[in-house]
Structure formats: structure tokens, C-alpha cells
Amino acid sequence: MTPVTSKVCVVGDFAVGKTSVVERFVTNQFSEKYLSTVGVKIDTKEIEFPALAVTHKLVIWDVAGSEKFGPAEMAYLRGASGYIFVADGTRPATLKAVERLQNQITEAYGLAPAVLLVNKRDLTADWDVSDERFDALTTNYGNAYRTSAKTGDDVERAIARLAELIIENDMRGK
Amino acid sequence: MNDLDQLKELLFGAEKQALDSISERVERREIRTADVADILPEAIHQSHQKDGELVESLTQPVGECLQQALRDEPETYADALYPVMGPAIRKSIMHALRNFSQQINEAVEHSVSPTGLKWRWQASRAGIPFGEYVLQKTMRYRVEQAYLISRENGLLVDHVHHESSKIKDSDAVSAMFTAIQDFVKESFSPDRTGRLESADMGEFTLWAVHGPHALLVCVIRGVPPKSLRADLSAILERIHFRYGDAIREYKGDTSTVPDVEDELERCLRFEARDESTKKREGPPGPVLVLLLLLALAAVFFGVRSWMYSQQQEELEAALNATPGLYVTSIDRDGGHFTVRGLRDPLAMNVADVAESIDIPSDRVSVSMQPFQSLQPEILAERAARMLGKPESVDFRVSGTTLHASGQAPWAWRQQLRSRFNSLVGIDRLDVSGLQGNDRQQIADRVAGLNQRQFFFGSGVEFLDGDQARLREFATELAGLVDEAREFGYLVSVTAKGSADSVGSAAANAALADRRATVAAQILAASGINARILSQPELGFADEPPREDVSLRFVQFDLQLEPLPDSP
């Protein structure tokens, strides 16, 4: 298996469940206190793609939540191979925040593979994203998932898809 | 040739020839080869002088050429290398043995020294192998880990570390360091040009060396010298030289930076602590142990020497207190003593004196000259020997007087009186405490003899056997008399006869005297002078006359009288 490493950034508004989503999926490497002090926390996850004979290691930068990134956060995003956008399905405003962040990132660093996680699908009573809206998001982001950090629904699938997209993107680049 | 060609020939004839010549040189391979061969040595020399690019460029193709050649013609190269392989192997083995010897020395040093024991205890507390702990303590610095990080995205290009180093996920560490680097830059550098170059974390120092595309981060244990940063910069420059473009475009595919690990390995430097530093810390373990042993030996020999010195004093005191010995010197060699001086033959042996104070005689040599001591004890002993002192007598000397006390026979007392003057150092004799010890014995024997009676028949004829008994008596008495004389007594003998009542009293008295005289004559034959106790008459007034054999006898009265002592 060929080892490949990629930098992936998790971005989204405050309290959308970014860290919870990541923690469902990764091996913790550092304390969460870095998130509140340095503004970012690093974790890693290895995913194997036997068909491609590739072991893809994602170095996941969990960037502190914000509606709009400052220079420090933007510095953290530099060189990322892919993005995990996270929004809160019970707060549609967070989708707007994701859109703003995506624009900001694209403007600074160009397009890159990304997946959108509309999180907290377990809170069905408070869920506030219609199917039509979700379809529109899927069209816009290419890959959108209704996830639950609490139950783990679709989290792994979404991130595995991102890893796959990054490999495809790199192969196209070559 | 048309007009145009002629015109060209006229106008550019020389140039055309030159062009043709150049064309020929370019087109003809052999000429080009000759040209390159002509300038190649100089070109190589100039390129090599200018920078290291030529070496870099040739490293890979030359290496591959060598590999190919070795595969194709191994024997040729084996023959060529044969003369150098032996010395190289020997040198390598010697180097390995020297290192091994040094390691053994250090291991022994750190095993037996107090520091080593302390380190062993601390290593066990820290839960790390003793060897590793010793390394940590003896090194000045060691580059434990080196991270080569893409500055663009914080991805780890490569990572090397010592086997003993504890590492986390190096990709995560690389990313986190980049994040912190960015955080510091954004937070503390107003113009965002500042960068984190070093950080101290307890026993570790973290150094970051920045290149155009990559960041070299080294985790260093101990205190690195400043020159190390220059060395690390040189390594990073070399990496940029070889892999600059690949690192700039690095997206996590390690195959784009082949063999970068070899370059990175060069960062794992190690430097042992300076010997002079060690010296400042104190003497090394073996020296301490040696000093300790020397101190113990000094204490041991000191104590032993003190004990011998004490023994010498005790021996000298004991010898001086021994009568008849006069010590002039005692020499000591370790625990062996040589005693010199004078010894009276009657004095105690030096070896016996030594044994009496628990000094083995084999540790004492004696060199004594004989002499005659006038010490009282020796004088008394000499007197005893010369005078044949009986056990019942004690001698004591004070000043020049010999005091004799106890009991002794008269004859010996006489001898004492006559001979004490011959003793050197004695001019007076005191016998006030000396008594005869033989009177009772003689007296008992005298009493026994006094009981004897010797019987007669009629007249002065002894009964059968009594005359013979009387002679035996005489012999016995003569011996007693001699013995008594030796003990200082005279024995006086009085013979007294007896008769029965037949006849007149006067006749009987006369008969009794005759009988006493006859008996005295027999004693006289044995040299005994017996007095006769004459009796005027023997009367038996109240009894009728009758023959009674039991009254016809003679008896002796023996008395002891002391001989007058000689003046």
C-alpha cells in the first residue's frame, strides 16, 4: 500500500459539532485545550483504499469555529487538500456561515475537494433543513451528508468520501 | 555556379567558409566528440571548483554505473578491492573493538562508582534502561528527532528519530508545530515575518531551521552548541538543493522525495560531554573507588600500626617489669619486634614474657647478652638454687639481706649460715622466721622406742630372741640418733634394769643394774652411749617373793635435747 498524507481542515460556525464529528472518527493526538488557546487542534485518521492500493492518512486540522476567519485561522487553512464543512441542521444560519467561509477560503486558496456535513440529524424535532434545501446544498457542495456526531450516522462515510475525492483530485493533477 | 552564387562568393566568401566549417563541426559527431573531450577535463574542474552541483549531478548516474559494473563484473572489482579490503576490515574491527572497550570502561565506571549506583537507582525510578540513562547523563547533546515539514501545508515530508525516542504521531506533531508556528507568527509578530526558531522544554530544546519550502525541526536533548544550527542549516540547504521543487509541490506523497531520509539522518547528531566538564564535576568513579580503597587501606594500616605501637609499649613495659631483664632497645618492623639487652640466666624468657601479653613468640626476635642481675627476685632465686632451698623455706631479699622463713632441718640451716656469704649482693642473713621442722617426727619415734622392753631369763641371760631384738633396737636407735642430729637434736639414752621379787631387794637392784649394763654394752657396740640408771634397791614389800619373768627386763629412757645452734 502506498502511503499518502493529506491536510484536511474542519471548518464551520460556533457550536455546530465540528469537534464532536472529528472525535467520532479519529485518534486523539492532542488535548482539546489547544482549540481554545491556539485555535486549532490536530488529529489524524488513516483510511485504506485497497482498490487504489493506497493508505490515505488525513491530518485533520480542527479549526475553532467562526462566522468569518481572521488571518490566524486563514493561516491554518493554507495548503489544505480538502475541507470538511460542518453546519448545524437545527440552525439554518450556520449554513450561511459555511457558505461565507467557503467563499473566503476559495478566494484565498482556490477550490479544493470538500464535503458538507449538516450535523445533529438526531435532533429530529428541531431539524430545520428541508429536503429541497439539502438537495440544493448537495448540488452546491457536491457532497452533502446529514450526520449525527451523537450516533455517528454518516460521519465516517462523509470523511471517507473526502479522502477519496482528494486522491482523485491529486491523480487528476498528476 | 550562377551569378547569385558568384556574388555571394565575392561578398561573403570568408564568412561562408567559416559557416561551412562550423556546420561540419556541428554535424559530424566525431568532431563534436573530440571538441567535448578537449574541454571536458577543464569544464569538470571548473564546475567542481564553483559549487557542489557537479557532484550532486554525478552522484546518481555514477552510483548506478558502479552498481551495474559490480553486477556485471564482480570478480574484476573484487580483485581490484582485494588489496584495500584487508586493511579496511582490520581498521573497522579495531575501531569497533576500541568503541567496545570504551563502552566496557564506561559501563564499569558507571556501574561501580557512587554516581553509577545513583544513576542506576534513578534509572529504575524513571523506568528507563540503565544504558539509556547513562547516555543521557554523559552526553552533551543529542538530536533525538528531526522533522522535515512542508512550509506550504504543514505536512510532514519525513521524520527520523533515535530508536529510544518516544514519539507521538509524527504527522500530527508536524501539523501541530506548524499551527503553533502560525499562531506565534500571527499573535506576536506585527509584520508576520517573525518565526519560532527555538523553544525550551525541560531537558529538551526544540530548534526550527527555516528554508524556502521546508522547515527542519529538531528535538534536542541536552545543550546544543551554536555551531549545530549552522550544521542543520547546511543540511536543510542541501535538502532544498536536491528536493526543493518536490517539497514545494509536496502533497503528502513520499515517493516524490526519494531518499530524503538519508539526508535527514545526518541531523541526528550526538556529542559526548566534554572530559574537562566531567573533571570539574569531580573524580570519576574508579578513582573514587580507588581513593576509598586507599583510605580504607590507610585506616587499616594506621590502626594496625597503632596497635603494633601499643604492643611495643606493652612489651617494653612487661620486659622492664620482669626481674633479670634489662632492655636496651626494641625495634619494630611492621608487627615484628626485635628485643636487645641483657638477661640474667635465671630471668624469664623474653618470648614467654611476650606470650604472656598475647604477642606470639614468632613475632619476637631476641638478641640478649647474659649478665648477673642483683635484683631482689633474682638474688632470691639464685640463693635458692645455690643453697638447695627446701620447699618449706621462702627466701626474700631486701637490700643486701637475705630473709629466710619457714621450716627447715637443722643441718640445712647450718649450711645456710655458712654459705650465704658466698652470694654476690648478699651480706646479711635473717633467719628470724626460720624454724626446725623435725622435732615432732623424731619425738614420735623416740616415744615408740621408749616402749620397748627386752626380757631376761635368770641373771643377765636374755630370753631367747630378746638379745637379737635389742641389737636391732640398737641399730634403729643409732639411725635415729644420727637423724636427730641432722635435725639439730641430741638423743640422751638411759638404761634401766628390772628384776622380780625373788631374792633380796639389794640383790635384785644389783641384778637390775647388771642387766642395764649388759644392755648398754650392746648399745655401745652400735656406737650409742647409754647412761645407766642405777637403783639402790628394788623392793616388793607388799608381795611375797615369787618368780615373775615379766619383771626381768631392761628398758631405755630416750630424751631429745636440742643441739646448740652454731654461732
Nearest to B209 by CA among B187, B224, B229, B223: B229
Cα-to-chain-centroid distance, residue B440: 70
CA distance A88 to chain B (A): 26
Would you say A24 and A149 are in contact if contact means Cβ atoms under 8 Å apart? yes
B462, β-bridge pairs: B456
**A-chain residues within 8 Å CB-CB of B192?**
71
> Distances in Å between the alpha carbon of A131 and those of A29, A140, A146?
37, 14, 10
Whether residue B25 is found in the same domain as residue B69: no
Query: CATH number of the domain that B384 lies in?
Result: 3.30.1340
Cβ distance B341 to B328 under 8 Å?
A: yes
Statement to judge: residues B456 and B553 lie in one domain: yes
Of B368, B402, B418, the residue at which a domain comes to its end is B368
B468 and B388 part of one domain: no
End of a domain among B95, B112, B129? B112
Q: Report whether A12 contacts A21 (CB < 8 A).
A: no
Phi and psi, residue B86, nearest 5°: -55, -60
B187 interaction partners in chain A (CB closer than 8 Å) = 72
Range with the lowest mean pLDDT among A46-60, A127-141, B372-386, B500-514? B500-514
- Identify which of B329, B402, B394, B337 has the alpha carbon closest to the alpha carbon of residue B363: B337
**For chain B, percent of residues with pLDDT exceeding 70:** 90
Tell me, what amino acid is at A96?
Answer: K
Q: How confident is the model at residue B566 (pLDDT cuts 50, 70, 90)?
A: very low
The single residue listed with the C-alpha cell 561501580 is B112
Beta-carbon separation of B186 and A75 below 8 A: yes
Q: How many CA atoms lie within 13 A of B482 on its CB side?
A: 8
Higher-confidence position of A45 and B107: A45
For residue B393, pLDDT beyond 50: yes
- B491 CB neighbour count, 10 Å cutoff: 21
Residue B401, C-beta contacts closer than 8 angstroms, at least 6 positions apart: B426, B427, B428, B429, B430
**Taking CB atoms and an 8 Å limit, are A79 and B154 in contact across chains?**
yes
Mutation choice for B interface testing from A31, A47, A59, A170 by most B CBs within 10 A? A59
B245 and B359 both lie in a single domain: no
DSSP tag of B456: B
Contact indicator for B180, A38 with CB cutoff of 8 Å: yes
Q: Is A82 exposed, middle or buried (0-12, 13-18, 19+ CB in 10 A)?
A: buried
B256 CA: distance to closest CA in chain A (Å): 11
B249 falls within a domain: yes
| B182 contacts on A by Cβ (under 8 Å) | 72, 75-76, 78
Q: B247 and B133 in one domain? A: yes
Asked whether residue B222 falls in the same domain as residue B129, the answer is yes
CB contact under 8 A, B251 and A30: no
Kindly indicate whether the ipTM for this predicted assembly is greater than 0.95, answering yes or no: no
From the number of C-beta atoms within 10 Å of its C-beta (0-12, 13-18, 19+), residue A162 rates as buried
A57 touches chain B (CB under 8 A): yes
Confidence tier at B437 by pLDDT (50, 70, 90):
low
pLDDT at residue B185, as a whole number: 80
pLDDT of residue B567 exceeding 50, the answer is: no
Q: Would you place residue B178 in the very low, low, confident or very high pLDDT band (cuts 50, 70, 90)?
A: confident
Helix, coil or strand: residue B190 = coil
Query: Residue A32 and residue A52: Cα distance in Å, rounded?
Result: 34
pLDDT score recorded for residue B530: 85
Is the CB of A52 inside 8 Å of chain B's CB atoms? no
Strand partners, B406: B393, B434
Determine which of B67-81, B90-104, B539-553 has the lowest per-residue pLDDT on average.
B90-104
User: Quick check: B496 and B482 in contact, CB under 8 A?
Assistant: no
- Chain A residues touching residue B251 (CB < 8 angstroms): 6, 81, 170, 173
Q: Which residue, B450, B455, B465, B470, is CA-closest to B500? A: B455
For residues B273 and B187, membership in a common domain is answered with yes
Q: What angle do CA A32, B144, B153 make, to 5 degrees?
A: 50
* B186: nearest CB among A59, A72, A173: A72
The answer to whether residue B286 sits within a structural domain is no
Mean pLDDT, residues B137-164: 87
- Same domain assignment for residues B136 and B269: yes
- Helices of type H across B28-52: 29-50
Q: Which of B152, B183, B252 minimises the CB distance to A4? A: B252
B183 and B136 fall within a common domain: yes
Within-domain flag for B567: no
Task: Provide the pLDDT for residue B342.
Answer: 92
Cell numbers 435532533 correspond to: A123
B270 and B222 in a common domain: yes
Kindly state whether residue B221 falls inside one of the protein's structural domains: yes
Per-residue pLDDT tens over the stretch A64-75: 887 788 888 888
User: Is residue B430 in a domain?
Assistant: yes
Is there a contact between B192 and A71 if contact means CB atoms under 8 Å apart? yes
Q: How far is CA B471 from the centre of its chain?
A: 85
Tell me what percent of the residues of chain B surpass a pLDDT of 90.
Answer: 17
Tell me whether residues B251 and A170 touch, CB distance under 8 A: yes
- Looking at CA atoms only, how far is residue A80 from chain B in angstroms? 6
The domain spanning residue B468 has which CATH number? Answer: 3.30.1330.60
Looking only at the bridges linking them, the beta strands covering A2-12 and A82-88 are: parallel
Instruction: Kindly list the structural domains of chain A, giving each domain's residue range(s) and its CATH number in brackets, ordered by start.
Output: 2-173 (3.40.50.300)
Name the residue facing B175 among A4, A42, A170 (closest C-beta).
A42
Which distant-in-sequence residues (6+ apart) come within 8 Å of B256 by Cβ?
B246, B249, B250
Q: Are B456 and B438 in contact (CB under 8 A)?
A: no
**Residue in B with minimal Cα distance to A26:** B172
B133-147 per-position pLDDT tens digit: 777 777 788 888 999
- Residues in B touching A38 (Cβ below 8 Å): 179-180, 183
Nearest to B511, CA basis, from B478, B490, B534 = B534
Q: Which residue has the cell 574491527?
A: B93
Under 8 Å between Cβ of B224 and B141? yes
| pLDDT tens digits, one per residue of A123-158 | 989 999 999 999 999 888 889 999 998 888 888 899
pLDDT digits (tens, 9 = 90+) for A94-122: 999 999 999 999 999 999 999 999 999 99
Question: Cβ distance B557 to B482 under 8 Å?
Answer: no
CB-CB under 8 Å, A30 with B154: no
Report the C-alpha gap between B162 and B129 in whole angstroms: 15
Checking if the pLDDT of B85 tops 80, the result is no
User: For B134, how many CA atoms within 13 A lie in the half-sphere containing its CB?
Assistant: 18
Most confident option among A88-92, B222-226, B309-313: A88-92
- Secondary structure of residue B170 in the 3-state scheme: helix
Q: What is the pLDDT of residues B212-265, one digit of tens each?
A: 889 999 999 888 888 899 899 889 988 888 888 889 888 888 888 888 888 899
In terms of Cα–Cα distance, which of B472, B482, B480 is closest to B525?
B472
Domain boundary among the residues B65, B91, B112 is at B112
As a whole number, the mean pLDDT across chain B is 84
Inter-chain CB proximity B186 and A4 less than 8 Å: no
Vertex B247 angle, CA B242 and B253, to 5°: 115
User: The CATH number of the domain where B155 resides is what?
Assistant: 3.30.450.70
- For chain A, how big is the Rg over CA atoms in Å? 15
Closest CB from B156, B168, B183 relative to A29:
B168
Cα gap B404→B339, rounded to integer Å: 35
Q: What is the DSSP string of A135-169?
A: HHHHHHHS-EEE--TTT-TTHHHHHHHHHHHHHHH
Distance from CA of B178 to the nearest CA of A (A): 8
Average pLDDT over residues B530-554: 76
Q: Least CB-CB distance to B251: which of A6, A57, A71?
A: A6
Contacts of B252 in chain A (CB under 8 A): 4-7, 57, 81
Residue of A nearest to B185 (CA): A72
Instruction: For residue A30, list chain B residues with Cβ-Cβ distance below 8 A.
Output: 172, 176
> β-strands A144-146, B204-210: how paired?
unpaired
A27 near B CB under 8 A: yes
The cell numbers describing B358, all together, are: 598475647
Contacts of A34 in chain B (CB under 8 A): 176, 179
Residues of A in contact with B254 (CB under 8 A): 3, 5
**Strand pairing partners for B455?**
B553
Minimal-distance CA residue of chain A relative to B178:
A76
B150 neighbourhood in chain A, CB within 8 Å:
79
pLDDT of the residue at B473: 93
Pair (B39, B105) in one structural domain? no
pTM of the entire structure? 0.47
pLDDT band at B27 (very low <50, low <70, confident <90, very high): confident
Whether residue B255 and residue A38 make contact (CB cut-off 8 A), yes or no, is no
Number of independent structural domains in chain B: 6
Cα–Cα distance between B179 and A38 in angstroms, integer? 8
Q: B542 and B480, same structural domain?
A: yes
The one-letter amino acid code at A70 reads: G
Amino acid B52 reads: G
List residues bridging with B433 in a β-sheet. B405
Do B159 and B147 meet the contact criterion of CB atoms below 8 Å apart? yes
pLDDT-based confidence at residue A11 (cuts at 50, 70, 90): very high
Residue closest to B393 by CA, chosen among B372, B420, B374 = B420
Examine residue B97 and state whether it is found in any structural domain, yes or no: yes
Tell whether B287 is covered by a domain.
Answer: no
User: Chain B contacts of A173, Cβ < 8 Å?
Assistant: 251
Interface check for A69 against chain B (CB to CB < 8 A): the answer is: no
Report pLDDT for A29. Answer: 64
CB contacts < 8 Å between A and B, how many? 80
Range of the domain at B394: 376-435
Q: What would the pLDDT profile of B272-293 be if each residue is shown by its tens digit? A: 776 554 445 555 667 778 888 9
Distance CA A86, CA A21 (A): 9
Residue with the larger pLDDT of the pair B410 and B559:
B559
Q: Does A28 touch chain B (CB under 8 A)?
A: no
Beta strands in B151-259 (DSSP E): 156-161, 198-201, 204-210, 214-222
B-chain residue closest to A38, CA distance = B183
Report the pLDDT value the prediction gives residue B285, as an integer from 0 to 100: 66
